[in-house]
């Protein structure tokens, strides 16, 4: 029907690339963590006056969709998929890299080629943009034209990190720390430990794009998670049953 009626049909990756060239693309890449982290960031922006558009890799429970649209924001949150090197179509304004454990070896063949693909992705960040990368992963960024690089971590050691982590009674509270920012007593809406790290990356990006401390705090507390990402169906004293998309050995260990 689309062909018969004169529509241009393109791959999703190419379309997202076009969008990043006409808006400020906030692109989240990584072997794992990118769906939850990008969704957290999108929710933080969407519930603030700044707003955002978002094309995500999972269904956000807050919205019942993987799509968020804004009538005023020039920010677009995008999950940058490394499969088939599709993220090489993007032109990020800011980028986040969450992990680099080898995956999709049917496409890449070996770890070196996989890591090289991420290195090339970092060269695509716009002049004057930002890269936020997890501290300690193997990727060596090759940023150019005044791109600023920040590292993040779960605990002290990155430019952005969590401090004073409190876990108990089914709740997690943290303090978020970064250059010229500190937000105390942030509650995680989805209280699992991996979301401390995911949350640090999401909050760092939101902070760098002008979301206020209070808006970040409210966004983290009100985030309801993503379908099939630590998605608890039953959770009581006797039984825990959850649905999760994890399929990489490193993800399953979590």
Span 65-102, pLDDT tens digits:
999 999 999 999 999 999 889 999 999 999 999 998 77
Residue % of the chain over a pLDDT of 70:
93
Q: What is the pLDDT of residue 250?
A: 54
Choice among 1-15, 25-39, 43-57, 98-112 with the minimum mean pLDDT: 98-112
* Higher-scoring residue by pLDDT: 232, 208: 208
Half-sphere exposure of 189 (CA within 13 A, CB side): 24
**Residue 30 φ/ψ, nearest 5 degrees:** 145, 150
Euclidean distance between CA atoms 58 and 79, whole angstroms? 9
Give 156's pLDDT tier (boundaries 50, 70, 90). confident
pLDDT at 248 over 60: no
CA distances from 45 to 53, 202, 220, 223, 241 (A): 9, 10, 11, 11, 31
* Tens of pLDDT, residues 171-201: 999 999 999 999 999 999 998 899 999 999 9
Give 227's pLDDT tier (boundaries 50, 70, 90). low
Residue % of the chain over a pLDDT of 90:
75
Closest CA to 97 of 50, 30, 149, 20: 30
pLDDT at 234 over 90: no
Give 245's pLDDT tier (boundaries 50, 70, 90). low
Q: What is the pLDDT of residue 254?
A: 53
Please enumerate in sequence order all residues whose Cβ is within 8 A of that of 237, keeping only pairs 6 or more positions apart, or say none. none
Q: What is the pLDDT of residue 249?
A: 55
**Residue 33 φ/ψ, nearest 5 degrees:** 95, -15
pLDDT at 120 over 60: yes
Q: Mean pLDDT across the stretch 125-146?
A: 94
């Amino acid at each position: 029907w689309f062909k018969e009626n004169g529509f241009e049909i393109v791959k999703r990756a190419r379309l997202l690339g076009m969008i990043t060239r006409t808006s400020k693309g906030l692109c989240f890449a990584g072997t794992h963590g990118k769906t939850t982290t990008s969704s957290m960031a999108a929710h933080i922006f969407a519930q603030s006056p700044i707003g955002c558009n978002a094309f995500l890799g999972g269904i956000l429970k807050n919205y019942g969709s993987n799509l968020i649209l804004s009538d005023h924001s020039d920010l677009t949150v995008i999950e940058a998929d490394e499969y088939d090197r599709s993220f090489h179509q993007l032109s990020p304004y800011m980028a986040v890299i969450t992990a680099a454990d080898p995956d999709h070896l049917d496409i890449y063949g070996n770890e070196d080629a996989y890591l090289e693909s991420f290195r090339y992705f970092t060269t695509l960040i716009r002049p004057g943009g930002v890269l936020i990368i997890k501290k300690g992963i193997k990727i060596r960024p090759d940023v150019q034209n005044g791109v600023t690089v920040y590292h993040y971590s779960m605990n002290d050691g990155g430019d952005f990190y969590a401090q004073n982590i409190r876990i108990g009674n089914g709740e997690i509270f943290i303090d978020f720390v970064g250059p010229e920012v500190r937000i105390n007593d942030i509650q995680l809406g989805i209280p699992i430990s991996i979301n401390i790290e995911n949350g640090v990356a999401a909050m760092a990006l939101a902070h760098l794009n002008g979301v206020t401390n209070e808006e970040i705090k409210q966004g983290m507390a009100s985030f309801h998670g993503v379908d099939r990402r630590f998605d608890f169906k039953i959770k009581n004293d006797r039984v825990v049953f959850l649905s999760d998309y994890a399929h990489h050995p490193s993800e399953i260990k979590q």
